[in-house]
Structure 1
Amino acid sequence: MELKEIVNSAFDESAVDRSTREKVFTLLGRLEEYHQLTYEHSLRVGLLSKDIGRMQNKEHRAGLYGVLHDIGKIKIPRSLLDKTEGFDDNDIEIMKGHVK
């Protein structure tokens, strides 16, 4: 599935204007280039968020928020994103920065 198809299926298009959708595509494209695993994770969270929102009749923007939830990881060094063990206090503090 192409990026636009996944993003479009992740959020209610009527809830987001064209300009916002294009910005989302740009951000996710940058995330895909920067760190593929985080990108794929974000798409899955977006689809799941939309499904959860639909169950609660609140899917309006749930998928959009889901796909963007980790976009700040573009600021985290790739070496840290790829690390699977041995996180020290400094690593944890850096990782916390992705939400700011």
Structure 2
Amino acid sequence: MKFIFCTCNISMMDQVTQLLDNNGVTSYQITDKVISRNEKGSPRFDTAVWPGYNVNITMQISSDDKADRIIALLREFNKEKAFSDEELLTVCSMKMDDYFFD
């Protein structure tokens, strides 16, 4: 089981959630209006000086194979869809010990 954390520019959110929906990811949460300073690109602090903001998309995936496929698709997304450093996704994953919703 894996927990995947993805942060992206708000301008990329719809494309990322469409990728998830089209690939059978049925459980994810979106945290809106996240201000951030990333490894690449300009800070996004939702101010006049540093406009824009990110969203965080967190996923819980019980199958490691499926999680690895989603991570590969997100990496491919960066290569094919991001036209600049401002649009790159930041993705990390962690193993989960527990996952329940009962």
Question: What TM-score bracket applies, with the shorter chain setting the length?
Answer: 0.3 to 0.5
TM-score with structure 1 setting the length: 0.33
Q: Which has the higher helix share?
A: 1
TM-score with structure 2 setting the length: 0.33
Q: Relative contact order (alpha carbons < 8 A, sep ≥ 6): 1 or 2 greater?
A: 2
Q: Which has the higher strand share?
A: 2
